[in-house]
Structure 1
Amino acid sequence: MGTGWHRDIALLIARVGIGIIFVAHGWQKLNDQGIEGVQAFFTSINAPLPEISAYVVTYLELVGGALLIIGALTPLVGFLLFCDMVGAFVLVHAENGVFVDDGGYELVLALGVGSLLIAACGAGRLSVDRMIPGLNRFS
């Protein structure tokens, strides 16, 4: 893809869409389940260090999603969200097949590869990263 405005608009739309989903899932973990509920679920699926990873995943999704939306620290945030989705894939969804209706991995896969793509491509010119020295080369 070139360096034209169509690329920047596509990256903006992708960042906002993926970011909204991550914010919603982080918010759901924090407010509907509560950290204790997330810890209990993580314990039930044998997630590593569930007492800590529940906090990490909840706030990564909430704050990381918001950072994606504004296009801040996208190489790091995109990669961390990709890792989050790898964990969800391995620990929860892989054994259920593709379709989300069956508890499958289609949403996790889409969010993970989308996050990784944003990490690799950068946030584009319509982003906070564009204004940060050192990160603007990723835009």
Structure 2
Amino acid sequence: MNRPTGSIRSIGLLLARVGIGAVFLAHGLQKLNTWGHAGTAAAFDTMGAPLPDVSAYLATWVEILGGAALIAGLLVPLAGILLAVDMIGAILVAHIGNGIWVGDGGFELALALGAGALGLAVAGPGRISVDALLFSRARGRLGRVLAPAV
């Protein structure tokens, strides 16, 4: 089977980045604006998260900044890995004991988001991204490491 090339691949990556990034951004903003740090930390404590104050802070900001980074296509490999790790933590701390179905408090959404974020980290941002603007001219080693699929 032929792989999508050029514009089709970049449009597909753009749509995936915006969709996944928007969900992460919304969840992070919910933690910040709806529940606040104290409410998020209290919920994390109830779930048995290690260092709930620190975990709540990290989860909130990884989701906000990581989601925004995916949408913009900025440092996508780094953002994708951090978001995937965030979802591994969510699965292990909050969802694993509830089975797979999200309606039962399960891990299906966290798994899908984490896998999507990891996929973007590996695939890269595509040509329609801030990474492409920043690193397309930097053909040196740094450009290949930070934005390998541009």
Q: Per-residue deviation at 1:95?
A: 1.1
Q: Per-residue deviation at 1:46?
A: 1.9
Aligned to 2:138: none
Matched, 1:66 2:68: yes
Matched, 1:137 2:148: yes
Aligned to 1:48: 50
Q: Distance in 1 between matches of 2:45 and 2:6?
A: 47
Q: Deviations over 1:11-57 (max 9, x none)?
A: 00000000110111011101111000111111122212211121111
Q: Per-residue deviation at 1:2?
A: 4.2
* Count of residues in Structure 1 that have an aligned counterpart in Structure 2: 139
Report which stretch shifted further, 95-104 or 76-85. Answer: 95-104
Which of 95, 102, 106 is the aligned partner of 2:104? 102
Aligned to 1:27: 29
Whichever of the two has the greater Rg, that structure is: 2
SS at match of 2:19: helix
Percent of aligned positions that are identical = 53
**In the alignment, residue 148 of structure 2 is paired with which amino acid?**
R
SS at match of 2:148: helix
List alignment gaps of at least 5 residues for structure 1: none
Q: Distance in 2 between matches of 1:58 and 1:128?
A: 23
Q: Distance in 2 between matches of 1:76 and 1:3?
A: 24
Which of 28, 36, 39 is the aligned partner of 1:37? 39
Aligned to 2:14: 12
* Large movers: runs of 4+ above 4 Å: none
Query: What is the aligned-residue RMSD (CA, Å)?
Result: 1.1
Aligned to 1:57: 59
Matched, 1:112 2:123: no
**In the alignment, residue 34 of structure 1 is paired with which amino acid?**
G
Q: TM-score, normalised by structure 1?
A: 0.95
